[in-house]
Structure formats: C-alpha cells, structure tokens
Amino acid sequence: MDYYEKLIKDEENQHFIEFNQQLSVNNIASDDFSRSNVNQIRQMKSELVALKDFAKEQIEVVQRKLNDLIEHLQTRPPREVDRITINQLEEQTKNVTHRLQYLMKDYNLTKKLMVKKEKEYNKKFGFNPKIGILRTNPICLRPNYV
C-alpha cells in the first residue's frame, strides 16, 4: 500500500508540476496577447487621431472654399440679362404702384361724394338708407321696418 500511496503522491506532484508549467505558459501567452492587443489598440488609436485631424483639415479647406465662393457670388457684377429683368420688374412695380395710388385716391373721392350725397338725402327726406356703406345687419331686422 505504501508503494501505491507513494505512486499516487508522485503522480499528484507530477500533475501539479505540469499544471503549474501549463499555467505559467498560459499566463505568458495571455500577457503576450494582452501586450499585443494593447499595442494594436494604441496603434489604432493613433491612426484614429490622425484620421480625425485629417478630416478636420478637409472640413476647414471645404469651409474656406465655400466662404470664398459665397464672397465671389456676392461681389460679382450682375449679368446683363438679370439687370434688364430687374429694370423691367422695377418699372412694372412703379406703374402698378402709381395706378394703385390713383385708384385709391379715386375711391376715397367717390366715397366722400357718396357720404355727402347721403347726408343731403337724409336732410331732404329724413330717411337714412346708408348709400355706399356696407350694411352689417339685414333690412328686415332694422327697427325702421319692423
């Protein structure tokens, strides 16, 4: 029995030694793996920062180009066709404004004349038909006719 116990103890020690060796190998491998991952992550991080800086530079270049184009568009002289169209539209606007002013003046004079005639009519006949003024309530509801 001692022989078997010693054999079992030796096998346990052998397995323990192999286990520890395998564990140390695994630890070394995992350390190497984690170091390589850390290096890859650092490399990817530096690449990302470089790409970010490059993208910022591109955005700045495009923004400057856009500002230059906007400035050029605002400072360039108008085309002859545009100038002619603008002049025609300004002339039409002037004509329409003049006609509108004339019609408003005529409307106001006509309204004053109608009010004056209404007052004369009311003086003569003593009745209030309200000529030329929109009625807010129908004739049938007025107290004069009810």
Measured CA to CA, the distance from residue 88 to residue 103 in angstroms comes to: 22
Choose among 132, 128, 131: nearest CA to 142: 128
DSSP for 46-60 reads HHHHHHHHHHHHHHH
Percent of the chain whose pLDDT exceeds 90: 38
Measured CA to CA, the distance from residue 43 to residue 65 in angstroms comes to: 33
Q: What is the domain partition of the chain in residue ranges?
A: 1-76, 79-146
> Above 80 in pLDDT, residue 91?
yes
**pLDDT tens-place string over residues 22-63:** 888 887 777 777 777 778 888 889 999 999 999 999 999 999
Instruction: Report phi then psi at 35, rounded to 5.
Output: -65, -45
**Residue carrying structure tokens 């991080």:** 45
| Dihedral (Cα; 120, 125, 129, 132), 10-degree rounding | -20
pLDDT range class, residue 98, cuts 50, 70, 90: very high
